[in-house]
Structure formats: C-alpha cells, structure tokens
Structure 1
Amino acid sequence: MAPLSAPFRTIVRTALPPRCPACGVPVAEDHRFCAECWDQLRFLGPPWCARCCTPFSYDRGAGTICAACMAAPPAHAGVRAAVAYGDVARKLALGLKYGGRAGVAETMARPMARLLPDGVDWLVPVPLHRWRLWRRGYNQAALIARAVGRIADVPVSVDVLARTRHTPVLRGLSGRERRAAVARAFVVRADVAGAAVVLVDDVHTSGATAEACTAALLKAGARSVSVLCWARVLGSDD
C-alpha cells in the first residue's frame, strides 16, 4: 500500500486527531497522554531494591536489598514495571485486555522498553490457555512483548512457554490462593538453556503467575528470568 500523501495525512489528522489512550481527549501525537492523565501516572525506576526492583522512596545506595528479599528472595531477577498500578494504568490494561484496543500495547511498550536489563536473549510473554486465547482472540502480553521487541530490537518468542492447565481468574483471590491456582500450570517448549529471559506481562499483582513461569523457565535451564510489565501493584503481598 502506498504511503498517504502529506495533504491527505493532514486531513486525516484533522478529522481523526490522536487521542489520549486513557481518556480519549485529543492530543498532539499518538501514544501521548493528556496533561491530566499524565499527572496521574507514577513512573517507576531506580532507586529500587537490587533484588526485586521494588521502588525505594529514597536512594539507599547501590546494591541495597529490601527487607522482603532478605527474608525470602524471589527466584526471578526482579520485576521492572513502567508505572505503578492506578486509575490511568488500569484503564489502559483493561482496554487492551478486554476492550480490543490493540494500539495501546505500543503505548505501554514505550516506557517498558527503557527498563530492559542488559544482555537479554529472549522476550517471552506470559501465555494464555488455549481456551481463553480462542475466546479473546489474542494474548495481550504477546502484543506488548512484540511492541517492546520492535522498539528495543530484542527477539520475541511466543512459543517458549505454554499454559497447559486452564486456571481461574486470579482477581479477588488471596496471594496463597493465586499461587495454588497457577502451580505447575506452565511448561517450557523450547530450548532456553543458558538464556537470559525477560518475562513480559501487562500487570504484576501478587506475583503468583510470574513465580510459576519463572520456576518453569529456570527448571528448563534458563540462566536468569527477569519480569517486565506495564503496571505493578505496590503495597500488596508482592
């Protein structure tokens, strides 16, 4: 398909201007937030725990580990989230997951890509069970992973992990119930021996799904597993 001419692009942008991905008001560019929604987003990054990447309220020095990791360090190499979970972050996640708004995958991916750790071999999205995939028509984590991969020029594989057991919706369950629900629900179907894997998801809540995926990847020989997501629920039982 031939590219649109400049005059026609101007007409299209006038009739159909870019809109804030959260509230829908017109904005200057695609994937940009309006000032009001932007102010409600809390972007995450260092200073954070050197082990799990939970943000610190102030810089505690390089290599500092949070109390939770001192007591029980996670198997993964940290959860890197673009933003803290809140009203605006939730609107994007729900719009992608249930509203068919595939375009917001790139909106999420742009700040996520800046948080990728060094030396990544594979981006691997958290898989859906085949029944849920057939009903929804797509895996939101795979859309985000592909967008991050394009931006950061990192390989993406949607075939590394499979969810072999249909699990219940985790929303509303306790941390213990979530972990029980996803235990041994994932299998590795590709060679990941010695690979540094980044597991990609939309929202990190209790960490149960990430822990189950990490366990499967490490058992299959992955060198390390980091978690990269759009939003992270802070102050819960992560």
Structure 2
Amino acid sequence: MRGAVAGAGRAVLDAVLPPLCLGCNEIVSAPGALCASCWQGFSFISAPHCACCGTPLAEDLGPEALCAGCLVRRPRYHRARAALVYDDQSRRLVLPFKHGDRTDIARACGGWMTRAGADLLASADLVAPVPLHWRRLFMRRYNQAMLLARIVVRTAARGDDLRLAPDLLRRQRWTGSQAGLRAKERRRNVREAFDVHPKWRPMVAGKTILLVDDVLTTGATVEACARALQRAGAKGVDVLTLARVVRPAL
C-alpha cells in the first residue's frame, strides 16, 4: 500500500512538475536523469586509464600503466578516479551545481562517482570532502564536495563499514580562486593551507582516506590535502572527483 501511494504521488508530481534532463532541461522519464542526447554527449571515463591519476589513455597498456605526467612527477596521492572528463558538455552540469545552487544535481553525480571509484571505495576507511574556507562557505552556503561525499558513502556497497568524516580536514587560510594560475602557482597557493581536525587525528593514523571533490584540474588542492593527511599518519590517500581536466597528448 505504501509503495502504491508513493507511486501515485510521484505520478501526480511528474504531471505538474515533470522531471528534466540535468544537461539540457528536456523532459525525461525520472528525476536526476540525462536524456539520450546528453548521455551520448558526456565523456564518461572508463578503462584504459592511468593507474595513478586516472587520466584516460589512448590504448590499453596494462592495469599498471602510467600516463606521461605521472611518469615525470608522481602525485602525493595513491590513486585518483573521476566519473567525467571536464569539457564543454560536463561544464554545463558542474558550474550550476557548484555556483548556481543546483544541489539537486548531487544525487545523480554521486552515483556516477560511486561506480567510477568502486576500487577506491573498496579499500577506503574514511571518506572526507575537500573543505572550503569559512568565507567561501558563507558566500556559497554549501560545500559541493560535502554533498557529493555524502551521496558516495550512501550509495557505496559497504553498508555501515564506510564512514563519512565531514570535517576531517580544515582549510586554515584563505587561498582565493585557483582559476588562471599555472600548476606551480596553484601548488604554491595551497601549500600548508590544510590541516587535520584534532578530533579525527587518532582515527587517521594507519587508515586509507578517500578525498572527494568536484573537479580535478592540476591536483594541487588534493595533493595539499594528501600532505596534511600523510603527516597525520594516514596509510594511503585516494581521490575521487565528479570530473577531471584531461590535457591534450603531446
């Protein structure tokens, strides 16, 4: 009876406010879905990809293959995975979610991330969002990484075995926007910007931490977070994001 009532309520609501595609606002069959055209237009990341940073590779070189960037400079984190390539299409999803109060987008995106990061989630002890500075949080009113992390933990096939640590990391100082900065400038800008909250320190030592964020660009921010966690004794740090920038092959 309860299911029938819920189904009837959903039908009435859909008749009044039909569910819209997350990418283009066309009517779709269910809330949080993409229409066929948008689904084909989004670049979902799958194997083959770099074993470390998750960058898509042009050909399958084996499960341990690394991209050119990781061969030159290995990141501080162990592994990174992302659901989407950050391009013109996915930007239409990410920017409204990040800056336009479209928090409803988090549910679908978090589900995509759970699938993309299944191997990371299998070995994680704690899931932590990349924190915002309090000034940024005050202006935005929500941390998009926190919304994604909550959905990822909820949809991961781990039951109560996986714990969300919402304030594990603190952003100690204002770093401003990273937009327009080069990789070295980004790393310099966020150096020593994060620390581990004292109440979580006993639970970090010897554990594998999964960091969650919206977009991986140069990796400067998550590497600064990883450095803080490693100093607190974390055994490993992995990174899971909704999207990642893919540099053109040289």
In 1, the alpha carbon distance for the partners of 2:98 and 2:90 equals 12
Task: Provide closer, same or farther for how the CA distance between residues 127 and 101 of structure 1 changes in structure 2, counting only shifts above 3 A.
Answer: same
Deviations 1:54-105 (A, max 9, x none): 2211111232223322222111112200010112311221111111111111
| Residue of structure 1 equivalent to 2:75 | 74
User: Identity over the aligned pairs, expressed in percent?
Assistant: 41
| Residue of structure 2 equivalent to 1:45 | 46
Larger helix proportion, structure 1 or 2?
2
1:169 aligns with 2:172: no
SS at match of 1:28: coil
SS at match of 2:163: coil
Q: CA RMSD in A?
A: 1.7
Q: CA deviation at 1:214?
A: 0.8
| Residue of structure 2 equivalent to 1:24 | 25
Q: Which runs of structure 2 are paired with 1:1-238 in the superposition (5 Å)?
A: 5-114=6-115, 115-116=117-118, 117=120, 118-152=122-156, 153=159, 154-189=162-197, 190-191=200-201, 192-235=204-247
In 2, the alpha carbon distance for the partners of 1:181 and 1:14 equals 50
Q: CA deviation at 1:230?
A: 0.4
Q: Is the 8 A contact 1:178 1:208 kept in 2?
A: yes
Deviations 1:15-37 (A, max 9, x none): 11111112111101122111221
Q: Which amino acid aligns with 2:13?
A: V
Task: Provide closer, same or farther for how the CA distance between residues 226 and 160 of structure 1 changes in structure 2, counting only shifts above 3 A.
Answer: same
Where does the alignment leave 5 or more consecutive residues of structure 1 unmatched? Answer: none
In 1, the alpha carbon distance for the partners of 2:184 and 2:111 equals 33
Q: CA deviation at 1:236?
A: 6.6
Q: Which amino acid aligns with 2:180?
A: G
- In the superposition, the TM-score normalised over structure 1's length comes to 0.93
Task: Provide closer, same or farther for how the CA distance between residues 62 and 10 of structure 1 changes in structure 2, counting only shifts above 3 A.
Answer: closer
Q: Which amino acid aligns with 1:200?
A: V
Task: Provide closer, same or farther for how the CA distance between residues 236 and 125 of structure 1 changes in structure 2, counting only shifts above 3 A.
Answer: farther
SS at match of 1:96: helix
- In the superposition, the TM-score normalised over structure 2's length comes to 0.89
In 1, the alpha carbon distance for the partners of 2:238 and 2:45 equals 16
Q: CA deviation at 1:5?
A: 4.5
Q: Which amino acid aligns with 2:50?
A: C
